[in-house]
Amino acid sequence: MSNEKSPGAEVHDLDAGTFYEEVHSFEFWFHAVEGYLAGTEGGHRPDLVEEALDEERRQRLISALCNYCVGETAALEGSSGLIAIAPNRTTKIFLATQVADEGRHLEVFTRRLSDLGVTDPEAEVERRASPSLQLFRRHLLELVAGKDWEAALFAQNVILESLEFVVFRSHMADADPVTASVLEAVIKDERRHIGFGENELGRRLREAPHRRARLGQVRRDMDHLVLDTLAESARSLGLPRSEHEQLGRQYMESVERLGLA
């Protein structure tokens, strides 16, 4: 890290090189997360009182959390595998911070399942997980195993993260207070992960525009799994059709920011 930056300097005031080193560091990560994780318990503010949920709402929440656990497990396995094929120190260090985030997400969602009376979370996840999301997880891990850096990073830090981001944000809007507080902090982390993916891929596409075709192919392979997962999530959250369609549009917009229509 550069010694030239003054303590507490705003990252936006830094030159491009220092900025790049700064945001790909554990120090940046720690300062980012301590603001919203310090003092939390189970990933949420400790002063919150559990709202009584009727059985239908409780079941919906359990199904949603089971799918979140699959997504977070995919991201945990994906980001840890990506470290081995990341092209340089800064990307490896960022991914190490992401591994910590994804492990935390899996932990707090599993803890929430326990809060809701689920005694064997692994078995419950197995029973309720969306088949499309499980397939997505397998495809992502195949891209990582194939050492396909851009494709795997795109599948994980743009496609999967965008899917999680739109679903979590929509869920947070009408979740019980404890779940909403857990989701609020997770969303902040996912934003950082999407930012990293867009920055890294944007730079690599500018350096070598031919990579765009490969990412377009990955998108075509994965989009239907994402849209099926969104449909299944919308059903399990009991969302009206208009809101489900809006989620699909938000996901598309997020992925298209890289110009991969």
> Interface with Fe ion by CB under 5 A: which residues?
72, 75, 102, 105, 190, 193
- Minimum Å distance from CB 53 to Fe ion? 24
Strands (DSSP E) contained in the chain are none
- Minimum Å distance from CB 151 to Fe ion? 17
- Minimum Å distance from CB 252 to Fe ion? 19
- Minimum Å distance from CB 159 to Fe ion? 11
| Closer of 135 and 187 to Fe ion (Cβ) | 187
Asked if 41 contacts 104 with a C-beta cutoff of 8 angstroms, the reply is: no
Q: For residues 180 and 48, give the distance between their C-alpha atoms in angstroms, rounded to a whole number.
A: 10
- Minimum Å distance from CB 102 to Fe ion? 5
- Minimum Å distance from CB 170 to Fe ion? 16
Q: For residues 116 and 15, give the distance between their C-alpha atoms in angstroms, rounded to a whole number.
A: 48
CA 254 distance to own-chain centroid: 13
Closest CA relative to residue 223, chosen from 129, 160, 168, 152: 160
| Closer of 162 and 236 to Fe ion (Cβ) | 162
| Closer of 202 and 209 to Fe ion (Cβ) | 202
| Closer of 160 and 215 to Fe ion (Cβ) | 160
Sequence-distant (6+) residues with CB within 8 A of 77 are: 137, 141, 144
Asked if 238 contacts 197 with a C-beta cutoff of 8 angstroms, the reply is: no
Q: For residues 151 and 142, give the distance between their C-alpha atoms in angstroms, rounded to a whole number.
A: 10
| Closer of 167 and 205 to Fe ion (Cβ) | 167
| Closer of 14 and 77 to Fe ion (Cβ) | 77
Q: For residues 205 and 211, give the distance between their C-alpha atoms in angstroms, rounded to a whole number.
A: 6
Asked if 122 contacts 181 with a C-beta cutoff of 8 angstroms, the reply is: no
